[in-house]
Amino acid sequence: MIITKELSGRAKAMLRAVAAGRGQLSGGREPDLYVDGLPCCDRTATHDLVHGGLLRARRAVSLDERTDAELTDLGRAALA
C-alpha cells in the first residue's frame, strides 16, 4: 500500500500511541481502536489506518474481544 495523502495530526497521534504500547484493536473487519482502555473517537481514521496497512492486530480475535495493536513496517515509516 502506498500512502497517497498526508496523515492528519490525529492519525499520527494514534500511531504514536500504538507504538508506545497503549493501543488495542477490537475484532472484526472494521475494528475499533482503544487507547489506554478508552475507545478512540475517530473510527474512520482507525479504519483507514488498518485498511491502509499501517496498523494491525497482534492476533485474530472475535468481535467481542480486543488484542494489542501494533504498527506495520509502513506504519513505522509513516512516523519516521
Each residue's pLDDT tens digit, 1-48: 445 468 999 999 999 999 999 999 999 999 999 999 999 999 999 999
Q: Find out whether 52 and 3 touch, Cβ atoms under 8 Å.
A: yes
* Residue 34 lies inside a defined structural domain of this protein: yes
Q: Which three cell numbers stand for residue 21?
A: 504500547
3-state helix, strand, coil in the chain (%, to 5): 35, 20, 45
Q: What is the pTM of this model?
A: 0.89
- Please give the pLDDT value at position 5: 64
Count the domains in the chain.
Answer: 1
First to last CA, the chain: 17
* Residue 3 lies inside a defined structural domain of this protein: no
Residues spanned by the domain of 68: 9-79
Helix (H, G, I), strand (E, B) or coil at 23: strand
* Residue 13 lies inside a defined structural domain of this protein: yes
